[in-house]
Amino acid sequence: MSVQKSIQPIVSKHHERILIIDFGSQVTQLIARRVRENGVYCEIWPFNQADAARITAFDPKGIILSGGPASVTEADSPRAPEIVFEMGVPLLGICYGQQTMVEQLGGKVESGHHSEFGRAHVDVVADTAITEGLWHKGAHEQVWMSHGDRVVSLPEGFEVIGKSEGAPFAFIAHEDKQFYAVQFHPEVVHTPHGNQLIKNFTHEVCGCAGDWTMAAFRDEAIEKISAQVGKGRVICGLSGGVDSSVTAVLLHEAIGEQLTCIYVDTGMMREGESDQVVDLFRNHYNIPLIHKDAGGLFLGKLAGVSDPEEKRKIIGGTFIEVFEDCANNEVGNAQFLAQGTLYPDVIESVSFTGGPSVTIKSHHNVGGLPERMNLDLVEPLRELFKDEVRDLGRALGMHDDFVSRHPFPGPGLAIRVPGEITVEKLDILRKADVVYLDEIRKAGLYDTIWQAFAVLLPVRTVGVMGDARSYEYVCALRAVTSTDGMTADYYPFEHEFLGRVSTRIINEVRGINRVVYDITSKPPGTIEWE
C-alpha cells in the first residue's frame, strides 16, 4: 500500500498569508494559533527549509521569526533567510527571532548574566504602529520572558520601544521598514495582551483583513478534492473520531459514492463506539462503509504482551493487515487513500534535517503503510488545527455533540490498560469510563475539558466492601485542558465531584475497589497515559 503523493495545499492564493519561520521553539505552534484565531492563514516552516524561491512563491503579507533554543553568539547557529530582510514585507522577530534579526542586520547580541525566565514587566518608552490602541508610552506591561542572551546594540534605523530589567532592548522597531522585534513571547497566555499585539502586526501593520474562515475553507476544499480525485475511488480509514469523521463527510460532499470508508473494530473501542460509527455513517450520512470486526484477531496477537511499544507495534501491524485486506478484497480499484492528517502532524513530521514522513495518521497513528499498495494521499485537513477541524465539522452540518467529542487515540483502550490486555480488563475499563464521562456531562464540564478518560492500572489492592475483603484493580482518572492538543494541564475537579465519581465506580463496576486522580501536567505530545 505505497503512498505516492499528497494533494497540493488547499488554501487559495487569494487568501492572505503569514509565514512563520521556526527556529525550534516549543511554543512556535502557539504563534500560528494566535494568527489563525485572528482570521489569517499562516504556515510554519523550519528555518533551513525556507529558501528564497519558496518564500517568494508563498507570497506572504508578513513574516514572523520564532523563538528557539540556540544562541546567535555560537558558530553555525540558525539564521533567517536573507530574503526576509529584502522583500519589503513587515517582519516580527520573537525572542531568538529578535536576536538573529539584530545580529544579521548589524547589531550585537551577547551571552552572559542577564537571563530572564518567567513573568517580567516591560516599560514602554515610545509609541509605534504595532502597539497602537494597545500599549502607550509610559505603560508598564506584564510579559513572559525565556532568554539567556540579550541584545546590547541595535542595527541602524532601529529604536527602543520597551525595556525590561534584564533586557534594555526588550522591544524594538524600525518603522520605515516595518521591522519589529520583541525579546518576550507574545504568543503565550502569560503575556496578557500578546494576542492583540500579534493581531496588530497582522492586521494593522501587514494590512490583513482576516478572511480565513471555515466556510471559505469548506468550499475551496470541496473544489480542490474534486479536481484532484476526478472519477477515481477513495478509501478512508474511519474511526468515528473527529479527524477521520470530518474528513469522511467532507470527501462525501466532494465526491459522493466514489468514497468508501473502512472501519476496523480492534476490540479496544469505547463502549458503544462501533454501533455509533456504523449508525452515523451508514444510516445518517449514507456513506458506503465496511465494518470489519477484528477484535478477536487483535486481542489474540496481544495476549501475554505487556511492553507498551511492543503493543503499539502489534496493533499497528495488525491494523495494516486488516485494512489492506479490506481495501484489496472488499473495495478494489481504489486510487486514493484519505487521511485525517492535521497541521500539527505535518509540522511534527518535518525536522530541521529531514523531510515529511509518510506515516499514516487517520485514526490510529501507529505505523506506516507498506510499499506494496499504490495509492495517492488525500489529506484535506492538513492545513488545520484541531479546533479548526471542529469548526469545519460544524460548517459541514455535523452535530456539535459529535464534533466536540473528546479525542480517542488510535491504539484505543490499549494505552489505557498498562500491562497485558485482556477481555476482562477491557470490560472493566469500559464500564468505569462510562461512569466517569457520565458524571462529567452531568456536571456540565464535558466541553470545558479537552480529554477525559479512565485507566486500569496493572496493580490490585486489598479493600473492604461491606463485610468482605476484596482484591481488585485500581482505576486512575485523568482529565486535561488544552487548546490544540500540544500541551496539557490537569483539570482541577472539586473534591465533591471526585468523591461522587469514585463512589459510583466502586459501587457499579465490579473489579475496581480504589480510584485515584492523576494531576500530572504534561508537555507536548504526551496527553495520553502510556
Phi, psi of 81 (to 5 degrees): -60, 135
Specify whether 384 is located in the same domain as 249.
yes
Specify whether 120 is located in the same domain as 257.
no
Specify whether 303 is located in the same domain as 173.
no
| Residue in the structure block whose three cell numbers are 505505523 | 367
Q: How far apart are CA 17 and CA 386, in angstroms?
A: 20
Assigned domain for 4 exists: no
Phi, psi of 74 (to 5 degrees): -95, 145
Name the more confident of 238 and 253.
253
Assigned domain for 182 exists: yes
Assigned domain for 350 exists: yes
State the pLDDT at residue 519.
85
Q: Where among 338, 372, 403 does a domain terminate?
A: 403
State the pLDDT at residue 146.
79
Specify whether 33 is located in the same domain as 61.
yes
Assigned domain for 234 exists: yes
Q: What percent of the chain has pLDDT over 90?
A: 58
Assigned domain for 463 exists: yes
Specify whether 240 is located in the same domain as 97.
no
Specify whether 260 is located in the same domain as 190.
no
Q: How far apart are CA 337 and CA 61, in angstroms?
A: 34
Name the more confident of 372 and 60.
60
Q: How far apart are CA 379 and CA 410, in angstroms?
A: 17
Q: Which whole number is the average pLDDT over 345-349?
A: 69
Assigned domain for 109 exists: yes
Task: Tell me the one-letter amino acid at 254.
Answer: A
Catalytically annotated residue among 103, 187, 273, 379: 187
Q: To the nearest whole number, what is the mean pLDDT of the chain? A: 86
Q: For residue 192, give Cα distances in angstroms to 144, 198, 324.
A: 9, 12, 50
How many domains does the chain fold into? 3
State the pLDDT at residue 88.
95
DSSP of 28-50: HHHHHHHHHHTT-EEEEEEGGG-
Lowest mean per-residue pLDDT among 21-25, 222-226, 423-427, 485-489: 485-489
Specify whether 235 is located in the same domain as 359.
yes
Specify whether 445 is located in the same domain as 336.
no
- Beta strands at 17-22 and 41-46: parallel, antiparallel or unpaired: parallel
State the pLDDT at residue 371.
60
Q: Where among 403, 435, 463 does a domain terminate?
A: 403
Phi, psi of 127 (to 5 degrees): -95, 150
Q: What is the CATH number of the domain that holds 336?
A: 3.40.50.620
Q: Which whole number is the average pLDDT over 133-151?
A: 86
Most confident range, picked from 26-40, 173-187, 354-368? 173-187
State the pLDDT at residue 488.
72
State the pLDDT at residue 5.
40
Task: Examine the pLDDT at 466 and tell me if it is beyond 70.
Answer: no
**b/e sequence 455-477, b meaning 16+ C-beta within 10 Å:** bbbeeeeeeeeeeeebebbbbbb
**Active site annotation includes 261:** no
Q: What is the CATH number of the domain that holds 20?
A: 3.40.50.880
Name the more confident of 221 and 467.
221
State the pLDDT at residue 408.
80
Report residue 26 as a C-alpha cell.
Answer: 516549543
Task: Examine the pLDDT at 301 and tell me if it is beyond 80.
Answer: yes
Specify whether 182 is located in the same domain as 164.
yes
Q: How confident is the model at residue 2 (pLDDT cuts 50, 70, 90)?
A: very low
Q: Where among 185, 205, 225 does a domain terminate?
A: 205
**Active site annotation includes 475:** no
Task: Examine the pLDDT at 9 and tell me if it is beyond 60.
Answer: no
Provide the domain limits for residue 432.
Answer: 422-517
Q: What percent of the chain has pLDDT over 70?
A: 88
Q: What is the CATH number of the domain that holds 494?
A: 3.30.300.10
Assigned domain for 121 exists: yes
Task: Tell me the one-letter amino acid at 54.
Answer: R
Assigned domain for 250 exists: yes
State the pLDDT at residue 145.
85
State the pLDDT at residue 241.
84
State the pLDDT at residue 410.
72
Specify whether 222 is located in the same domain as 200.
no
Specify whether 372 is located in the same domain as 237.
yes
Q: What is the pLDDT of residues 80-131, one digit of tens each?
A: 999 999 999 999 999 999 999 999 999 999 887 666 677 889 999 999 999 9
Name the more confident of 527 and 418.
418
CB 91 within 8 A of CB 182: no
Q: What is the pLDDT of residues 226-240, one digit of tens each?
A: 999 999 999 998 887
Q: What is the pLDDT of residues 445-455, one digit of tens each?
A: 999 998 999 99
Q: For residue 182, give Cα distances in angstroms to 96, 98, 203, 349.
A: 9, 6, 18, 28
Maximum Cα interatomic distance, the chain, rounded to a whole number of Å:
83
Specify whether 226 is located in the same domain as 271.
yes
Helix (H, G, I), strand (E, B) or coil at 121: strand
Report residue 85 as a C-alpha cell.
Answer: 530582510
Catalytically annotated residue among 147, 185, 364, 406: 185
Helix (H, G, I), strand (E, B) or coil at 69: coil
Q: How confident is the model at residue 359 (pLDDT cuts 50, 70, 90)?
A: very low
**Active site annotation includes 187:** yes
CB 297 within 8 A of CB 320: no
